[in-house]
């Protein structure tokens, strides 16, 4: 097993730490799912905890008899676990919102992955994750429908001068129907994730498979690149112009040419769309609205912190006209070039008020925007719903 340690461990602590980690094993012989609860779908062993109660509370268990202090760090709250005489630690959390949440075990101050859970690349590192089902929501569940594929490949980027990874979703029937070409959605992850985010946590393939089977979405190819791009000699971080210029170069000179050369893509900007969540939403705002003639098929901006002041000087107002000249003063030109401009945010996300305010400004100045909000904070359940909604509106 691999464990993600948050801090550097002094050499003198190695023997102690190794002996401690030996006991970080999933509870099998000792753990049973409590009555009325279910094993989390993100568990490695479906007969173990973490266990989810109907009201959203989660029980965590861990066998670590040599540990002195064990906690669960989940959705910004730390819970102290209690140890019994057999060295079994457990805790039951407050009710949690439905959706996907990263979490960590905290072992005597060290953050590690829970060996009972699958690990995911999020928060800028490998972390445990728990997916709490939402009653009545199954649009991202596997169903008995034709399935597409997530295809992983590597390519050499002339921008970063490194080999990079990308995931490509091809719709059902792609290989069986070589005469058919498809529109392409380019979609970006958030700041703590990479090209695995939409393919794994986002369940993009299941969302598209189900929509296509229901006739609610046009069969499409989806390109999921890594949005973290560096360029030798360029200081490019966050939302500054340099970072956005490097991202644009990677997308326009490496990613799009790769997709259009190796996959059956329909020609023309009307068959090309761009979307992203959080950091990827900011990249979509910058790159998509500065190049609306490239992505006529549509732009999807999910939960970006850009509108709430991220990347701005403290106390300064977000000025869309400064970033996108003409967005307010020549809004009709954007309406003519884009089939859809879609913006969404979680209803409990701290970005929602700033986002709503910007939507009002856009509409007051004649810019056509479709806005949606969904229950939840800054997390994957909101972004899954955003993609589910946006995918039904593009390439029509």
- Does one domain contain both 78 and 179? no
Buried b (16+ CB within 10 A) or exposed e, 153-162: eebebebbee
- Does one domain contain both 206 and 107? no
Answer yes or no: is 108 within a domain: yes
- Does one domain contain both 191 and 253? yes
Answer yes or no: is 137 within a domain: no
- Does one domain contain both 376 and 245? yes
What is the C-alpha separation between 42 and 50, in angstroms, rounded? 9
CB 368 within 8 A of CB 335: yes
Pairing of strands 99-107, 70-74: antiparallel
- Does one domain contain both 207 and 177? yes
- Does one domain contain both 269 and 361? yes
Answer yes or no: is 376 within a domain: yes
Last residue of a domain, one of 132, 158, 185: 132
- DSSP code, position 182: B
Last residue of a domain, one of 132, 160, 177: 132
- Does one domain contain both 21 and 95? yes
Cα–Cα distance list, 313 to 8, 242, 286, 310, 325 (Å): 33, 16, 18, 8, 19
CATH number, domain with residue 286: 3.40.50.1820
Answer yes or no: is 54 within a domain: yes
- Does one domain contain both 17 and 156? no
Answer yes or no: is 5 within a domain: no
- Does one domain contain both 206 and 348? yes
CATH number, domain with residue 42: 2.60.40.10
User: How far apart are the two ends of the chain, measured CA to CA in Å?
Assistant: 47
What is the C-alpha separation between 296 and 352, in angstroms, rounded? 26
What range defines the domain where residue 248 resides? 149-391
> What's the number of domains the chain is made of?
2
Last residue of a domain, one of 106, 132, 158: 132
Answer yes or no: is 221 within a domain: yes
Answer yes or no: is 141 within a domain: no
What is the C-alpha separation between 355 and 359, in angstroms, rounded? 6
- Does one domain contain both 206 and 278? yes
How confident is the prediction along the chain (396 residues), in pLDDT tens digits per residue?
333 333 333 434 433 443 444 344 443 334 579 999 999 999 999 889 999 999 999 999 999 999 999 999 999 899 999 999 999 999 999 999 999 999 999 999 999 999 999 999 998 999 999 999 999 999 999 999 999 999 999 999 999 999 999 999 999 999 999 999 999 999 999 999 999 999 999 999 999 999 999 999 999 999 999 999 999 999 877 677 889 999 999 999 999 999 999 999 999 999 999 999 999 999 999 999 999 999 999 999 999 988 875 655 555 678 999 999 999 999 999 999 999 999 999 999 999 999 999 999 999 999 999 999 999 999 999 999 999 999 999 999
Answer yes or no: is 380 within a domain: yes
- Does one domain contain both 213 and 251? yes
- Does one domain contain both 54 and 186? no
């Amino acid at each position: 097993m691999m464990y993600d340690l948050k801090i550097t461990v002094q050499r003198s602590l190695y023997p102690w730490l190794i002996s401690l980690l030996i006991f970080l094993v999933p509870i099998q012989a000792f753990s049973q799912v409590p009555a009325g609860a279910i094993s989390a779908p993100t568990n490695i062993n479906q007969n173990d905890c973490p266990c989810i109660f109907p009201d959203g509370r989660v029980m965590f268990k861990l066998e670590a008899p040599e540990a002195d202090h064990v906690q669960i760090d989940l959705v910004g709250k730390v819970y102290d676990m209690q140890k019994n005489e057999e060295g079994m630690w457990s805790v039951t959390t407050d009710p949690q919102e439905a959706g996907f949440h990263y979490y960590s075990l905290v072992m005597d101050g060290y953050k590690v992955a829970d060996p009972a859970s699958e690990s995911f690349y999020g928060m800028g590192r490998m972390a445990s994750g728990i997916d709490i089902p939402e009653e009545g929501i199954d649009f991202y569940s596997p169903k008995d429908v034709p399935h597409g594929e997530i295809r992983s490949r590597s390519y050499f980027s002339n921008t970063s001068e490194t080999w990079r990874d990308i995931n490509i979703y091809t719709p059902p029937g792609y290989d069986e129907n070589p005469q058919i070409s498809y529109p392409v959605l380019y979609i970006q992850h958030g700041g703590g994730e990479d090209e695995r985010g939409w393919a794994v946590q986002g369940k993009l393939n299941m969302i598209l498979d189900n929509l296509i089977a229901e006739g609610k979405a046009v069969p499409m190819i989806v390109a999921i690149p890594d949005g973290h791009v560096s360029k030798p000699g360029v200081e490019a971080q966050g939302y500054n112009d340099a970072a956005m210029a490097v991202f644009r170069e990677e997308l326009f000179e490496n990613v799009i040419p790769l997709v259009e050369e190796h996959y059956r893509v329909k020609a023309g900007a009307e068959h090309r769309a761009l979307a992203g969540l959080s950091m990827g939403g900011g990249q979509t705002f910058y790159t998509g609205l500065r190049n609306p003639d490239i992505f006529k098929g549509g732009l999807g901006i999910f939960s970006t912190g850009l509108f709430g002041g991220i990347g701005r000087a403290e106390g300064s107002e977000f000025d869309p006209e400064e970033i996108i000249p003409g967005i307010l003063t020549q809004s009709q030109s954007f309406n003519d070039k884009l089939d859809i401009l879609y913006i969404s945010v979680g209803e409990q996300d701290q970005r929602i008020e700033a986002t709503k305010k910007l939507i009002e400004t856009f509409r007051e100045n004649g810019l056509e925007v479709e806005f949606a909000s969904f229950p939840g904070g800054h997390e994957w359940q909101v972004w899954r719903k955003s993609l589910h909604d946006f995918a039904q509106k593009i390439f029509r």
